Amino acid sequence: MSAAGRLTWRSAGVFTFRRLCSSEQSQAPAQRDSPPKRSAVRPAASTTHDWIGPPNPLSNLRPIVYRVPEDESELERRLRRLRQETEDWNHQFWTKQNISFSKEKEAFILSQLKSKGLTLLDDNGRRRHLSSEEMAVFYKSFLDRNRTRHASYNKEWYRRNFSITLLMARVALNSMWKSVSDRTSSKRSNTPPP
């Protein structure tokens, strides 16, 4: 096993990839401002199992590498690609959103402490905090400023998931039709002619 990570088996028949040391977490905050790649070590797609990684430190989402079956049909390929594109789109949105939130929150805390004539650190070198009532003002203003962005995200999220659900239904129906056709043709080949 390498120092970069290990594989673990999840109960639903899914492998989980966990990194033991994270270069992303040790980066300086200025380096983390640009959206990172999904993972420094990303396994190749398996033919039998999905790979699920640890939560990304910026988006807080677990990256997924979807399995690629050996006999993948064109419809299944479209479904897999749409699911992967949706995962990547979701990761990018939440990375940008969380970075923006953190920057604005830090600026708000500093401005509130400055207005009180306080510094970020107290006399003992500990970080000062605002009360929950003071932070509620920031949370509400952040949500109000980003209302349109969140509404657009939700609309796109539902559109993508509806498309994925329809494709999943088509894949399931095709699979069911194929198994019924295979059973029917095997019965005909096993039945002796009259």
CA distances from 158 to 12, 18, 62, 66, 90 (A): 26, 30, 20, 21, 12
Q: Tens digit of pLDDT per residue, the chain (194 long)?
A: 443 444 433 433 344 444 333 333 344 444 444 444 444 566 677 777 788 889 999 999 998 888 888 888 999 999 999 999 999 999 999 999 999 999 999 999 999 999 988 888 888 888 888 889 999 999 999 999 999 999 999 999 999 999 999 999 999 999 899 888 877 777 777 666 66
Whole-structure pTM value: 0.67
Please give the angle made by the CA atoms of 13, 19 and 21, to the nearest 5 degrees: 165
Identify whether the C-beta of residue 58 lies closer than 8 Å to the C-beta of residue 36: yes
- For residue 52 the two structure tokens come to 């699920």
Packing angle, helices 132-145 and 74-115, rounded to 10: 130
Predicted confidence at residue 121, as pLDDT, reads: 83
Predicted confidence at residue 182, as pLDDT, reads: 77
Stated as kind and residue range, the H or E segment containing 157 is helix 147-190
Predicted confidence at residue 96, as pLDDT, reads: 96
Predicted confidence at residue 40, as pLDDT, reads: 55
| Cα–Cα distance measured from residue 99 to residue 102, given in angstroms and rounded to the nearest whole number | 5
Predicted confidence at residue 191, as pLDDT, reads: 63
Identify whether the C-beta of residue 76 lies closer than 8 Å to the C-beta of residue 168: no
Reading phi first (left if > 0) and then psi (alpha if -120 to 50, else beta), residue 60 is in left
CA distances from 24 to 36, 101, 108, 137 (A): 8, 19, 26, 31
